[in-house]
Amino acid sequence: MTTIGLIRHGITDWNIEEKAQGHSDIPLNEKGRIQAQRVATRLLNENWDMLISSNLSRAGETAQIIGKTLNIPTLLYDERLREINCGKIEGMTEEERVSKWGINWREADIEMEHYNDVALRGEFVLKEIINSFNGKKVLVVSHGALIGLTLQKILPLQFPKTYIDNTSITILTYINQTWKCPLYNCTNHLYK
C-alpha cells in the first residue's frame, strides 16, 4: 500500500485579502509559518518517507518547515504541483473581477487554466508517485485548487465538490489499483 498525505500550504496575505494567487509566487505570512509548524508537529510520529512540494514559495516554505521538523532530508520540487493558473485574475479580489468583467466574469476570456487540465496534472503526479515510490508514505505539499480538483477526478463519487483549508491534511491510500481517502481536509492541529 502506498500512502500519500496531501497538505495545502500555510496562509498568505493574499489568502486573507481573498485575492486569486494562482502561479503568483506569494510567500507565507507569519500565521502561515505557525500553521506549517503545527501540521509538522502533528505529523511528527507518523514515519513519513519523503516530501514533494510545489515549487511556489508558499508551498516550498511549508514543506521546508515540515521536512526540518520530521527530519526528512529529501525534499523534491515539482512545478506540476503548482496552483491553478488564474490568468488575468491573479492578484484580484472578487469585487475587482466583477468591476472589470461584470458578475459573469468567469465567462470572460480571463486566460485561466481549465479545471480538467489541473485535475489531470494532479492525477498524473499521483500516478507517478505510485509508480516511483510504491509502498512508501509520501507527503505532498501543494495548493487548494490542485488538491481539490485532483480529489474530484480520482474519487468523483466521494468528492463531487471540495474545499481545502490552509495546512489541512488529506490522506490517500492506493492498494489493488484503488484510491481511498480515509482522512479529508483535517485541520485539528490548528486548534490545539
Residue 152 binned pLDDT confidence (cut-offs 50, 70, 90):
very high
Which residues constitute the domain of residue 134? 2-191
The pLDDT, as a whole number, for residue 192 is: 75
CA atoms in the 13 A half-sphere facing the CB of 26? 23
Query: Which helix or strand (DSSP H or E) is residue 171 part of?
Result: strand 169-175
CA–CA dist 163, 144 (Å, integer): 7
The pLDDT, as a whole number, for residue 23 is: 96
The CA-based dihedral angle spanning residues 155, 104, 93, 6, taken in that order and rounded to the nearest 10 degrees: 10
CA–CA dist 156, 159 (Å, integer): 5
The pLDDT, as a whole number, for residue 75 is: 84
Q: The C-alpha cell of 99 is what?
A: 468591476
The pLDDT, as a whole number, for residue 147 is: 98
8 A C-beta contact, residue 53 and residue 76:
yes
Cα 140 off chain centre by: 8
73 pLDDT above the threshold of 90: no
Cα 4 off chain centre by: 12
Q: The domain that contains 34 carries what CATH number?
A: 3.40.50.1240
| Model confidence pLDDT, tens digit, residues 19-68 | 999 999 999 999 999 999 999 999 998 999 999 999 999 999 999 999 99
| Model confidence pLDDT, tens digit, residues 153-167 | 999 999 999 999 999
| Model confidence pLDDT, tens digit, residues 75-131 | 899 999 999 999 999 999 999 999 999 999 989 999 999 999 999 999 999 999 999
Number of domains in the chain: 1
Q: For strands 137-142 and 50-53, give the pairing.
A: parallel
The model's pTM: 0.95
The pLDDT, as a whole number, for residue 34 is: 98
